Structure 1
Amino acid sequence: MSRASQSPRPGALGPWQYVQNALFYIHVALATLVMGLGGIPLVIRHGRAGANRVATRWIGYMIWAARLHLGITCEVRGTPPTGDCIVAAKHQSFWDILVIAHAVPRRAFIMKREVMRVPIMGWYARKVGCIPIDRGRGRDALAVMSAEINQRLATDGLGQLIIYPEGTRTLPGQRRPYKHGVATIRAATGLSVVPVAVNAGMFWPKKGWGIRPGRAVVEFLPPIGPDLPAEAFMPRLEAEIETESDRLMAEAGLMLPRPDSAMA
């Protein structure tokens, strides 16, 4: 349940900050067009490795442009994984997507099927190994997705498969029930799961407008190995991500209620 209503709202942005937000989006739209089209030959020659090289450049450019226009920077804590694994992260904004993806070498996301249809970005998402999910198919979708993941593990390797257990972006201080898709994939693959805590929503809002200057933090927590019993996995994953995200948000100034007074 949401606890955001118990936290003070930050002050309104000034007119120039809204102009800077608009300039940022215009800048990155043009950069996406140029870098996306310019990178096609690299993808054709080198496949997924080429797509990852283009994606790394594009994400790095986005992070640089956000610092230039908006004054927002990022800090990565912990040890980003480099081998095949599942990365399960708190999701508050587009900023945490960028920072997590930039921190790992072979990123791939579980994402809504509709995102794959976005021009340029959707094509690259497929080429770097992102896996679409049709949420309307429920358990059938998870079975198809798990089979595809295992096929990749047996051939080219999976990389770092990034999934958001809450299923959508949340406001700072807000909690949603964790979905069991990550547990299903873990059981089907036997992979370790790396939890990730964030406070990105304190600076980059859920809807992507009204971005504020500051240093957002993404923290990679110790991996949860495949030997942990299935019934203990989801409670531990949720507790670690939420506890550490609360700590990061408190560092950034969010006033959260005490655990013994929080609403169930």
Structure 2
Amino acid sequence: MRKTVLEAVGLHRAYGDVQAVDNVSFTLAEGGSLGIVGESGSGKTTTARIVVGLEHPDSGRVLVDHRDRTQHRRGRAQRLARAREVQMVFQDPFLSLDPRITVNAVLRETLKLHFPDGDHPRRIAELLDQVGLGTREGDALPRQLSGGQRQRVAIARALAIEPAVLVLDEAVAALDVSVQAQILNLLSDIREQTGIGYLFITHDLGVVRCVTDEVIVMRHGRIVESGRTDRVLANPQHPYTRLLLESVPRPGWDPKQIAVARRALAASKAP
């Protein structure tokens, strides 16, 4: 049985009267892949930001390798150690890359910060190769790369500090379908090679089906269904999960029926 690398316990986060995250708990095994799925406003991104440490929960805990990430850590060394536990890849990598420096420089800065005594040129070459990039891309500025290439750079930078968990927040949503498939295959290969744990935040059930072992479905800040991805998608138990599946366009799909189902769900007592 694989050890638990990430555990969220009773997370709560409110903004005024809005309960964005309401008693959310889950675990992620070492080398596992967990999807958090839901529509905009479901609480999935707030949950991800709490896991990474970009936001603090009102209550609850996040543990990585049984270390509590919600406790304040003082000092530069402790903050860097905390950053090495969990890294995040965002939807738009261009916003998180310095447009003035090359890809090699981006990776070098990260490595110098976390591993000042390492062999940086060798490690940069390894990282570029790991994400399917070469010396030409390493010498390029972010604006000289395609969207898919920039996302590969963002993944390489996150992997550079060897995190236990990689959080991917809609990380392929802005890419063309063919490029999405390439990035998802790349991520699957990296997980197999490194044993890193993935937390996928997405509204796309196709992504969930392709790259996750387990899934949790969130609505109004709460988990309404969870389990093995194949089981949840094949036999959803909650009406909201069924609505998400029925909302995926396919032959014979009628958006009017989806609107009727959505109104019925809103009128019901289902959370």
* TM-score under structure 2 length normalisation: 0.38
Normalized per residue, the structure richer in helix is 1
Report which of the two structures shows the higher radius of gyration computed on alpha carbons: 2
Normalized per residue, the structure richer in strand is 2
